[in-house]
């Protein structure tokens, strides 16, 4: 059982506070979806967990299996098994996907076997309906938005993380690709039972990746949590109404 | 493939077919001049090595309707080189150049003399000391095209200076002038890129880009988020940067990369 605990963190970037006293615990086998209007700190949360040096934790702690990881470097967190499927995956000219993936896998596993890598790669490329030549091209070089997102999922399968964060993995995907990506994530989930943190704007992704918990973020914190039905409620009523209700409840409690 | 091998300032071997004529002579100030004339579509490789101060002047003519791929590989030594290229009507010159030298100064003048003349130029260099490149492209006819790419990685005591100038006089219409310059500077030494566009004609497309810096932070974050260390990520980015576009010199460049980024 792996546990990622975010304990009352406050995060700032360029002197602006983005996350305020934010807490969330995610365990193996759980799927958490974070939803919320633009600019509320959803992507910041995933980057902070991954260790992006642009974001500074001024208070609180992030622990992975009770080990504080606040000061770990990005690659050290990745080697613990934390993975971030990015909202806008970088295009890196000249660095082939093959070189990149080999280096990443070798860095995590000294007993890396090229044959098994190629076999698994071919199988995932087929399942994700990706172009076989992509492996020889530069990372995301000339890839469409959808291909980039599939490339993130491909990397997830190969790296086998224990915590999977997917930041708007549904954006840029057409309906068919959304289904492929959604099913692919669920296939990984069924096999490896990772902890999953999804950031999304739309209920449509949750038709394929079924969350145990849905959280609504606003102004750097979670304002409401619930089960999958909350996502449907958001789609129907919008964030404002839910935020209103939540604020009233909080005021009544006070 | 046609090949010329130069050691210090002398041609020590050449293997040429009838598409190329080469002559070499000392001028009145004892500077060796090498004249190359390309009369048919062809590929030419020039390999250089030097263990002293090498000074050479090249005059390279491309005949009308001819396409030439010119590959240059310079190793070791100190170089001071001048190149004058003359491109006739409908000719194309594609230059792929890798430099792994001690010090170098190059002055390159491209004369696009005939209509539809086109030059594509790609330089990849690893600078350990002083390197200075002055490139000038004269669009002397309409419908001429220049695409210049200068890529350098600066290490050790390196210092790179790119000055790249494109000239389009009034009346030379529908020219395309493009230059992309980038230096990955892995030192605290000062590097410079001076992109200049001297355009006296309205009907022209002209672009330039210049970038000096360490490896891109976002690219580094992406690679490290997959478990790759800072050093390994930097090596991958540099390797990609140096190999990109060099189809003919992949093995040679891989050897150079192994030497500096093992």
Residue-wise pLDDT for A147-190, tens only, equals 999 999 999 999 999 999 999 999 889 999 999 999 999 999 99
d(Cα A230, Cα B57) in Å, to the nearest integer?
A: 75
Length of chain A: 254
- A50 contacts in chain B (CB < 8 Å): 225
Residue-wise pLDDT for A204-220, tens only, equals 899 999 999 999 999 89
Under DSSP, the state recorded for A240 is H
- The first and second tokens of residue B182, run together, are 């980038």
Q: Is the pLDDT of residue A253 over 50?
A: no
Domain ranges of chain B: 2-214, 215-262
pLDDT in tens, chain B (262 residues): 899 999 999 999 999 999 999 999 999 888 999 999 999 999 999 999 998 899 999 999 999 999 999 999 999 999 999 999 999 999 999 999 999 999 999 999 999 999 999 999 999 999 999 999 999 999 999 999 999 999 999 999 999 999 999 999 999 999 999 999 999 999 999 999 999 999 999 999 999 999 999 999 999 999 999 999 999 999 999 999 999 999 889 899 999 999 998 7
- B236 contacts in chain A (CB < 8 Å): 92, 95, 99-100, 103
Please answer yes or no on whether B229 and A107 come within 8 Å at the CB atom. Answer: yes
Tell me the whole-structure pTM to 2 decimals.
Answer: 0.89
Q: How far is CA B133 from CA B52, B55, B130, B150, B188, in A?
A: 20, 15, 10, 9, 20
Asked if B236 reaches chain A (Cβ–Cβ under 8 Å), the answer is: yes
Pair A200, A38: CB distance under 8 Å: no
How far does the CA of residue A138 sit from the closest CA of chain B (Å)?
Answer: 8
pLDDT at A250: 54
Tell me the sheet residues that pair with A133.
none
Residue-wise pLDDT for B46-56, tens only, equals 999 998 899 99
- φ, ψ for residue A22, nearest 5 deg: -85, 130
Pair B142, B173: CB distance under 8 Å: yes
Q: How far is CA B74 from CA A61, B80, B126, in A?
A: 54, 12, 11
d(Cα B240, Cα B227) in Å, to the nearest integer?
A: 18
d(Cα A187, Cα B55) in Å, to the nearest integer?
A: 65
Please answer yes or no on whether A95 and B239 come within 8 Å at the CB atom. Answer: yes
Please answer yes or no on whether B227 and A93 come within 8 Å at the CB atom. Answer: no
Asked if B242 reaches chain A (Cβ–Cβ under 8 Å), the answer is: yes
Instruction: Spell out the domains of chain A, with CATH numbers in brackets.
Output: 3-91+161-253 (3.40.50.300)
Say whether B181 sits in a helix, a strand or coil. Answer: strand
Q: How far is CA A242 from CA A45, A72, B137, in A?
A: 21, 37, 64
Say which residue the tokens 């004529």 belong to: B21
CB-nearest to A75 from B227, B242, B244 is B227
Please answer yes or no on whether A78 and B227 come within 8 Å at the CB atom. Answer: yes
CB-nearest to B226 from A52, A78, A96 is A78
The interface predicted TM-score (ipTM) is 0.93
Say whether A118 sits in a helix, a strand or coil. Answer: helix
CB-nearest to A107 from B222, B227, B244 is B227
Say whether B76 sits in a helix, a strand or coil. Answer: coil
Please answer yes or no on whether B222 and A139 come within 8 Å at the CB atom. Answer: yes
Please answer yes or no on whether B225 and A78 come within 8 Å at the CB atom. Answer: yes
- B237 contacts in chain A (CB < 8 Å): 92, 95
Asked if A66 reaches chain B (Cβ–Cβ under 8 Å), the answer is: no
In sequence order, the 6+-apart residues with CB closer than 8 A to the CB of A84 are A46, A47, A49, A50, A165, A167, B225
């Amino acid at each position: 059982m792996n546990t990622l605990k975010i304990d009352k963190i406050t995060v700032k970037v360029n002197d602006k506070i983005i996350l305020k006293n934010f807490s969330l615990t995610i365990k193996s086998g759980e799927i958490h979806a974070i939803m919320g209007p633009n600019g509320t700190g959803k992507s910041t949360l995933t980057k902070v967990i991954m260790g992006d040096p642009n974001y500074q934790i001024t208070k609180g702690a992030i622990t992975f299996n009770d080990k504080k990881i606040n000061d770990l470097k990005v690659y050290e967190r990745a080697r613990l098994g934390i993975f971030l499927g990015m909202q806008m995956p970088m295009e890196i000219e000249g660095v082939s996907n093959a070189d990149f993936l080999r280096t990443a896998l070798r860095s995590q596993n000294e007993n890396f076997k090229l044959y098994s890598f190629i076999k698994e790669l071919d199988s995932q490329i087929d399942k994700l309906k990706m172009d076989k030549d992509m492996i020889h091209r530069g990372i995301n070089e000339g890839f469409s938005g959808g291909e980039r997102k599939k490339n993130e999922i491909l990397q997830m399968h190969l790296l086998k993380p224990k915590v999977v964060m997917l930041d708007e993995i549904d954006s840029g995907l057409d309906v068919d690709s959304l289904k492929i990506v959604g099913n692919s994530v669920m296939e990984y989930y069924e096999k490896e039972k990772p902890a999953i943190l999804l950031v999304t704007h739309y209920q449509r992704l949750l038709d394929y990746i079924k969350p145990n918990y849905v959280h609504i973020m606003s102004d750097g914190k979670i304002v409401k949590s619930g089960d999958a039905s909350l996502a449907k409620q958001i789609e129907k009523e919008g964030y404002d109404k839910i935020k209103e209700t939540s604020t009233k409840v909080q005021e009544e409690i006070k | 493939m046609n090949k010329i091998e130069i050691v210090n300032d002398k041609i020590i071997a050449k293997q040429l077919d009838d598409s190329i004529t080469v002559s070499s002579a000392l001028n009145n100030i004892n500077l060796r001049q090498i004249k190359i004339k390309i009369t048919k579509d062809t590929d030419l490789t020039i390999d250089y090595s030097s263990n002293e101060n090498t000074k050479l002047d090249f005059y390279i003519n491309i005949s009308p309707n001819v396409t030439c791929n010119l590959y240059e590989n310079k190793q070791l030594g100190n170089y001071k080189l001048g190149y004058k290229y003359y491109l006739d009507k409908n000719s194309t010159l594609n230059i792929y150049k890798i430099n792994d030298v001690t010090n170098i100064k190059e002055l390159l003048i491209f004369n696009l003399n005939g209509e539809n003349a086109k030059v594509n130029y790609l330089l990849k260099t690893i600078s350990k000391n002083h390197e200075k490149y002055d490139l000038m492209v004269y669009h002397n006819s309409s419908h001429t095209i220049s695409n210049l790419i200068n890529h350098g990685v600066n290490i050790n005591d390196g210092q790179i200076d790119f000055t790249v100038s494109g000239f389009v006089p009034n009346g030379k219409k529908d020219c395309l002038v493009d230059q992309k310059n980038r230096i990955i500077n892995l030192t605290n030494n000062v590097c410079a890129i001076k992109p200049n566009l001297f355009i006296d004609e309205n009907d022209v497309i002209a672009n330039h880009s210049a970038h000096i810096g360490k490896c891109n932070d976002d690219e580094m974050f992406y690679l490290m988020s997959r478990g790759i260390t800072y050093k390994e990520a930097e090596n991958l980015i540099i390797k990609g940067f140096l190999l990109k576009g060099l189809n003919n010199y992949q093995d040679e460049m891989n050897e150079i990369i192994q030497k500096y980024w093992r």
